Structure 1
Amino acid sequence: MRFGVLGPLAVWTRDGREVHVPERKVRTVLAVLLAGRLDHPRGPVSADRLAAALWRGRLPVHPDAVVQTKVSQLRRVFADAEPGGRGLVPPHLPGGYLLRAEAADVDAEVFADLLARARRAEAAEAAALLGRALELWRGPAFAGMADDDALRPAADRLEELRLEAVERLAEARLDLGEHHALAGELGELAARHPLRERLRAAHIRALYLAGRQHDALAAYTGLQRRLSDELGVDPGPELSALHRSILRHELVPGPGPPAPGAAWTAPPAPGTPAGAAPPAAAVRARTNLPAPLTRLVGRDADVAQVRALLGTERLVTLTGPGGVGKTRLAVAAAHGLTEAHPGGVWIVDLTALCRAADPGTPTVSLVSDLVAETLGVRDEPTHPVGGGAAAGLITAAHGPREGPAASAPGHAAADMTADRLLTALRDLRDATAPAERDTAADRLVATLREGLSNRTPDRPETGRTAERPLTEAREDPGGDAPGQEDETAADRLVAALRGRRTLLVLDNCEHVIGPVAELAGRLLPAVPDLRVLATSQEPLALAGEVLRPVPPLPVPEPSAQEEPEALLRFGAVRLFVERAAAAAPGFVFDRRSAPAVAAVCRRLDGVPLALELAATRLRALDAAELAARLDDRFRLLSAGSRDAPDRQRSLQAVIDWSCEPLTGPERAVLRRLAVHADGCVLAAAEEVCAGGPVASADVLGLLTRLVDRSLVAVVPGADGPRYRLLESIAAYGVDRMREAGELDAVRRRHRGHYTRLAAAGTRLDGPGRDRWLRRLDAESANLRAALDAALADGDHRAAQTLVSSLTRYWTLRGRHHEARRARDRVAGAPDTGADRPHPSVSAAAAPRG
């Protein structure tokens, strides 16, 4: 059996099933036994300590006996969960009670071991160990129980160790050259822990090495002022030394990520013989995957399924709406596949191309160039002055470039020589008049001789070798070597990847979907060992593509039990609680806050990015206030993490990004769908969403495109497929309808459609009654929305028709309260004189004896 305290208390069987420990005092016994192991792994916990934890000073008459009862209940839970489970907690020992679990079966002890090993490791190995250690965290230690005096010291100690691991991971990644990524990632973390000098030092160092010297110095000055104002101290010697190094420009970046052609290993462990293979843990996987600073929550099964798919399929695309966590899932899945892909695991973020792309440039070339740049595949230029001439000059200057090492970083000096020669050759090419050409040629000779005099002073024959291609360049400045052809970035990628088992993660494909599909369609057939994992809001639509939708995290139903322990079974709640505890240290997930947390998770559809944005608001609001303000969600959730991309800093930005590629008719159908309360069938969409640039016959095709783009979900219904929007997308659509000045018109079409449906549903006493009941059940929310809108707009005829038509349905379903309330609302509505109540409404509203 395995045990978890790095998050809510958890128990799993060997095959991964979660074990429910049903009673709070029994869970407290288990938590205290696990906390005791942190101090004395093999020592018992006294009965007095357990009693104090169970009753917090108000002990019963016979505390030892009651403790024994709770321990017996815990043993029974273990026995029911797994054979031999009862033996994990032996009967009372002389010193108290003991949990007999292996250290490898307790997540906190595994974490502590990985951290201890990382403290002794070089940067590459340390980064791998710390990444594994931080992946174990599912939330704050002993989440939901850490306010108990018996558990608070253990929770505080584990949190301190977690922060140490985060700091060490940042330092290791800096040593490995990942300063650009860390300059952004560490910003919010440093803001949450402003007085942790080690963390602030890592952030300052990252800022400087990323070229942001002003920001680095400002961060140091701010920390210096805060330490003085709040603690009356100066920065420590390490931070002061870092400050001096920045002022003197003495900091040097780490070596950076490994190139695709060369393995990157840590130095051999102490005692390893020279030339011996390093241990497996000491080898840095060839990858540029980021090491996330927060744990992926609620996606264990998804990660396993994606990895399994990539074991058999060559093109897997993760689809889903913006903010659902496609990138995090892809990165987590790819992290476990580095050993299976010795050619490397590389992620390419395509968002940089979306706004920078030149419409006049073939976009597939931009995508290919970005992938090649990420993989370190060099772009050997097509020399503008005779390919053969340029190649000859470069060869003369520093010898032939042969083998894989020809493109390695060690050839930096040769590359500089080549660049200078190529510049001179371009000048020669651009010269038009004979005199200009002679001057350019003389300059080229001088550049070449200067380089050669430094490299080969005792080899005069080298100069003569160089004169032959130079003569060619003078005579034919625009020519190419015989048989030479332009080589595209895609061609270079094929050559670089062929023969290497490589995983390429193409992230955020939706805005450049066509060029990405074209590139993938060229690479996959030409490179049999290549696997591609794409994230996109729509499919690439290539042969052999396997789609893996990424759904929102599960949320509790309104009828779900609202005990904190029960709600933590839902991934959305676990994510919200974890992020809330990190963002707002005073937040407590207990019986008081649990109902509001559940409501927030439901209202935000379980979308991870929306939940994370909402969690930060708990710094200023409590959970109930947050839930109450979600009607104005786009204003409320408008300030995300500073290190997040612009498209993820607010809820509206996420949806704006998703809608940006849509055509005008697609936008119209999307926003008009928002008037439906709980989705709709195709017939309703064709009536309600048509109008203006959208013909009714075009609605199906437009809906299909929106489904492909993950903006509309399709779910099975009683009367055929139903088209639904997430609540946040629906709220966005309503705002866009207001902006377009069409909200009233669309609501009238919606009201008309469902009024006619209700009228047709009066045939509930005929042979098709069951079918009509199911259909009206499915449309209950839309029927209520139509009635509400009719009353709000003063459309009494529609309101009367709806109530009279639905009375029989409400009676058959036993929904008498809803029927009575609807009749009262219609009968009591102000009469504008436009319509008189329908007789059936007046009769239904009359008192019944």
Structure 2
Amino acid sequence: MELAVRVLGPTVIEAGGTSVRVDRPFERALAVRLALAHGSGVPDDTLIRDLWSEDAAAKPVERLRALVYRLRQTLGDHASAIRRTSSGYALAAEPVDLVAVDALVGADQLDEALQHWRGEALADLRTFPFGALEGVRLDALRLSLRTQSIEAKLATGQSDPAELEQLVAENPLHERVVGLSAIALYRSGRQAEALQRLAGLRKALVDELGIDPAPETIALELRILRQDPDLADQQTVRRTGVGRSAFVGRDSELETLLGLLTSPTLITLTGGPGMGKTRLAREITAAVQSRNGRPIVWLDLATLGVGEAVLPALAAAADVEAGTGDPLPRILDKLGGALLVVDNAEHLVDEVAELLLRIRSKAVGLAVLVTSQRPLRISEEEVHQVGPLSREAAGVLFCSRSGLQPSDQIDLICEALDRLPLAVELAAGLTRTLTVDQLATRIQHRLRLLVSGNRDTGIRHSSLRAALDWSHSLLESPGQLVLRRLAVFVGGCTLEAAEQVVSGDGIHPADVVPILVDLTDRCLIGVELDGEGVRYRLLETVRDFALECLQAAGEETAVRRRHAEWCTELAARTEKYGGSNHRELLSELSQEEANLRAALDWSLGPDGDSGRVLAIAAPTWWYWWSRGLKEPAQDWLRRAIEIGKPERTREWGVALRSLATLTRYSGGYAEARVLGEQALELFRELGDHIAEVSALVGLSITSITLQDFENALAQGRQAIDKAEPLDNQRMLGTAVNVTGVALRNLGRFREAEEMFTRVRDLWSDDPRGLAAAHNNLATVAWQFKELERCRELCLESLRLYRELDLSEGMVDVLELLSSLEVEEGRPAVALRLLTVSATQRLRIGSPLVIPDELAARARAEELARRMLGPDAAAVITTAQDEPIAPVVDSLLA
């Protein structure tokens, strides 16, 4: 690296041992933020978010470029250290003090690691968003290292009382620190002072934070009070419970596994990183020992390298002395009737499987428990997958570890951490430095925050990133490629989508399936089965990690572009909505909504393509409208139209027409007319007659909303004339339908009825169109006071809409039924239906815009309120919380 950056104190930047002055704070902050990426590119949006608050960065991309230019000027001869990569700006620099600390901590040289702090980390950059966040993380790391150092010294009788007292003074509410000081006081014969110290902690926690001490602190207080003999043993410091989390959420698994292990068997606990496999295995061994005193042999393979021999490690674990010849017979003598636990076997599954095949049949009464991220795949093996905790258990674990009371914020934090036990414990540990609210607002930075776990759990479990790094390092290159490319999917993906997006540049499409199977075996991706088929999904923690890998590899732009192309194809497939496959289209788009939104947001960014936005958002406008998301859909289309250069293409016309529709249903009738006319002009210029019919239909609806009924009728008839030669019944039906609506609003009910009857025939195989035709015929029947026929048509329309799960259609029918209920003397039923429909319209953003329907609804509500009098308020209060589906189902029953 060309530059060395020191962050464990005020920022220092050096080149070849010589200081490089960067006086201006923003330039210094940019240099440090890039250095923290260790030479990898950092995306522009990440830099903008980390350097400026989201609401303060006007023209953020321009500001970032200007800042980079100024930093290059300041660096002078070292300006070339900044370069532009495919994934963003990068700086040839490293935070050398942090790198040194990581190495020293890995070697258990805690005191040497602490010497690298020169004061408060990033002391001069705490006002920047990333500086505040990273500073808190480094504060927590320093405190954790100091605590671990003191704990280790206390365990060997070498602790410095002054150092411990200073740490307590600096962190008077840190239960682990205060607990260690209480143990030190007790051992020096000062029991009363130890109890007083813990009582003071209890009072301070209640007075200042409003919480009770953690169960571990309470247990320690009782042990001191009872003068527990174990507390006098120097080696029992780590067994005092200080900092140890409760074992929760696995009771049923624990009992099931204990039952299986009473007889000779081979069980493998599989699960992704941070799932708590080792912890579960430890609880099993503790229970086995306490219940029957069975011999335990614990073989931890974490320290062995890939491909290293397992047999010598097993001999050492079984306490078999080295000697000449094969040690296996002597090992078998030790294993008879024992429980053998083989921990962390994922990188040595072949070697472990081979060894177990040799010993299982020869060791009498041997039960074997293996923990591994992937199964051994031998015939005797029984695999038990260890998954995330339940929501309740995750909350209990967090509260047990932090000493806090349950809350919705804690539940949200646990959900953001996928309820992984390791992540939950690490997050709970931060609550002695951060409030729950502060942690919740920063939890999206989970990989950077969740560090500094207990060192005695091993380096892999000291941080969420370390656990993921270990799993990632065991993958071969194709597996790493596929894992990081899957990160562009939000909410999972189908196999076909994965094949299209992750293949290429080193991955053949035919190789995707076996790689996905391998990643599933390693519990790095999950598989969901439903009526639609198989879906692959990354946990959010794994996705964060994989996305960082994608950015570091410089592949993000290329893979996101393929992802956007896939979304474009999906949008094109779903453009013709409302047919017999409407429910399937709705389900598919609902399943892929998160992916569509991610592709749209990226396409509007600096590396994206605004034309892609039009190709995705315009054909799917109907989905966003039906889901109450017309505002973001309008925003996507407007921004893409503003950014892009106007093109005389069908895609541009579809975008204008779609935006016109969304604008109309947002109340912008005049603007919708202008946009619709622009689309019509373009389609006529292109000679696209089907699109021209669609534009005329849209303009006719807009004219109806503007109560320009004659113009609406003329546009509808033009649409019919254009559609009749096209041999497209669906489009012709749309034109005939809107013409009928115009006639109905002109009071020409017989002509309207003829139109709607024709529509019913044209749309006989189109459930959505048929539902609309029945509803329009019901409206005409209402005008003719044919109440029984009106109800029959309404219920048939409602049944079709319910089958399609189209809320915007169901509310139309409920409002017409309310007029019937008022007419037949049931005002409470009418007002209930009106209230449910109004609530649903607000929820999905589908206002009523047709004048005669608006008038009928207003009349029904006025009559119902007048008939009910004071009782109307109670009806509205009860009905406004009712979901629409059960109400519709009760009407159809």
TM-score when normalising by structure 1: 0.50
Amino acid at match of 2:350: G
Distance 2:622 2:589 in 1: 11
Q: In the TM superposition, what whole-angstrom CA distance separates every residue of 1:342-380 from its partner, at most 9, and x where no partner exists?
A: 6512222111213xx7x6xxx33xx2222222222233x
Distance 2:149 2:519 in 1: 43
| Partner SS state of residue 307, structure 1 | helix
Distance 1:235 1:343 in 2: 35
Q: 1:518 aligns with which of 313, 333, 354?
A: 354
CA 1:769–1:192: 2 relative to 1, 3 Å: same
CA 1:343–1:309: 2 relative to 1, 3 Å: closer
Distance 2:422 2:638 in 1: 45
Shift of 1:341: 6.2
Aligned to 2:653: 839
Aligned to 1:378: 321
Q: 2:449 aligns with which of 632, 636, 655?
A: 636
Q: Bigger relative contact order, structure 1 or 2, given CA contacts below 8 A and separation 6+?
A: 1
Aligned to 2:632: 821
Amino acid at match of 1:838: W
Aligned to 1:799: 613
Q: 1:613 aligns with which of 408, 411, 426?
A: 426
Within-5 A mapping of 1:422-821: 486-487=325-326, 489-497=327-335, 500-555=336-391, 570-581=392-403, 588-589=404-405, 594-792=407-605, 793-811=607-625, 814-815=626-627, 817-821=628-632
Aligned to 1:309: 260
Distance 2:393 2:301 in 1: 29
Distance 2:616 2:303 in 1: 52
Distance 2:498 2:184 in 1: 64
Within-5 A mapping of 1:158-307: 191=147, 204=153, 206-207=155-156, 216-220=157-161, 222-223=163-164, 238-239=187-188, 293-307=244-258
Aligned to 2:302: 351
| Partner SS state of residue 337, structure 1 | helix
CA 1:675–1:782: 2 relative to 1, 3 Å: same
Amino acid at match of 2:399: V
Shift of 1:724: 0.9
CA 1:603–1:652: 2 relative to 1, 3 Å: same
CA 1:699–1:224: 2 relative to 1, 3 Å: closer
Is the 1:674–1:734 contact (alpha carbons within 8 Å) kept by the matching residues of 2? yes
Distance 1:834 1:627 in 2: 43
Aligned to 1:322: 273
Amino acid at match of 1:493: I
Distance 1:674 1:235 in 2: 49
CA 1:602–1:659: 2 relative to 1, 3 Å: same
Shift of 1:307: 1.7
Aligned to 1:31: none
Q: In the TM superposition, what whole-angstrom CA distance separates every residue of 1:296-351 from its partner, at most 9, and x where no partner exists?
A: 01111221222233246611111111111001111112322237766512222111
Matched length = 461
Amino acid at match of 1:370: A
Distance 1:810 1:237 in 2: 66
Is the 2:288–2:294 contact (alpha carbons within 8 Å) kept by the matching residues of 1? no
CA 1:826–1:741: 2 relative to 1, 3 Å: same
Distance 1:227 1:800 in 2: 60
| Partner SS state of residue 493, structure 2 | coil
| Partner SS state of residue 513, structure 1 | helix
Is the 1:796–1:835 contact (alpha carbons within 8 Å) kept by the matching residues of 2? no
CA 1:794–1:666: 2 relative to 1, 3 Å: closer
Q: In the TM superposition, what whole-angstrom CA distance separates every residue of 1:604-663 from its partner, at most 9, and x where no partner exists?
A: 100111111111222222112212212322222232224331112222111001111111
* Unmatched tracts of structure 2, length 5 or more: 1-142, 173-177, 191-237, 665-704, 706-893
Amino acid at match of 1:540: L
Is the 1:326–1:550 contact (alpha carbons within 8 Å) kept by the matching residues of 2? yes
| Partner SS state of residue 775, structure 1 | helix
Amino acid at match of 2:645: G
Is the 1:717–1:778 contact (alpha carbons within 8 Å) kept by the matching residues of 2? no
Distance 1:545 1:235 in 2: 48
Aligned to 2:232: none
Distance 2:337 2:352 in 1: 20
Distance 1:233 1:528 in 2: 48
Amino acid at match of 1:571: A
Amino acid at match of 2:334: A
Is the 2:374–2:523 contact (alpha carbons within 8 Å) kept by the matching residues of 1? yes
| Partner SS state of residue 721, structure 1 | strand
CA 1:330–1:678: 2 relative to 1, 3 Å: same
Amino acid at match of 1:306: L
| Partner SS state of residue 643, structure 2 | coil
Is the 1:341–1:503 contact (alpha carbons within 8 Å) kept by the matching residues of 2? no
| Partner SS state of residue 296, structure 2 | strand
Is the 2:269–2:369 contact (alpha carbons within 8 Å) kept by the matching residues of 1? yes
Is the 1:321–1:709 contact (alpha carbons within 8 Å) kept by the matching residues of 2? yes
Amino acid at match of 2:551: R
CA 1:642–1:494: 2 relative to 1, 3 Å: closer
Aligned to 1:397: none
| Partner SS state of residue 501, structure 1 | coil
Amino acid at match of 1:768: N
| Partner SS state of residue 533, structure 2 | coil
Is the 1:827–1:842 contact (alpha carbons within 8 Å) kept by the matching residues of 2? no
| Partner SS state of residue 577, structure 2 | coil
Is the 1:553–1:571 contact (alpha carbons within 8 Å) kept by the matching residues of 2? yes
* Unmatched tracts of structure 1, length 5 or more: 1-186, 195-199, 208-215, 242-288, 383-485, 556-569, 582-587
The alignment yields a C-alpha RMSD, in angstroms, of 3.4
Distance 1:794 1:224 in 2: 56
| Partner SS state of residue 594, structure 2 | helix
Higher mean displacement: 653-662 or 778-787:
778-787
Distance 1:237 1:689 in 2: 60
Amino acid at match of 1:597: I
Distance 1:672 1:653 in 2: 20
Amino acid at match of 1:804: A
Which one has the bigger helix percentage? Answer: 2
Is the 1:539–1:547 contact (alpha carbons within 8 Å) kept by the matching residues of 2? yes
Shift of 1:765: 3.2
Q: In the TM superposition, what whole-angstrom CA distance separates every residue of 1:407-450 from its partner, at most 9, and x where no partner exists?
A: xxxxxxxxxxxxxxxxxxxxxxxxxxxxxxxxxxxxxxxxxxxx
Higher mean displacement: 500-509 or 529-538:
500-509
Q: In the TM superposition, what whole-angstrom CA distance separates every residue of 1:463-484 from its partner, at most 9, and x where no partner exists?
A: xxxxxxxxxxxxxxxxxxxxxx
Is the 1:224–1:234 contact (alpha carbons within 8 Å) kept by the matching residues of 2? no
Distance 2:537 2:334 in 1: 45
CA 1:838–1:528: 2 relative to 1, 3 Å: farther
CA 1:626–1:526: 2 relative to 1, 3 Å: same
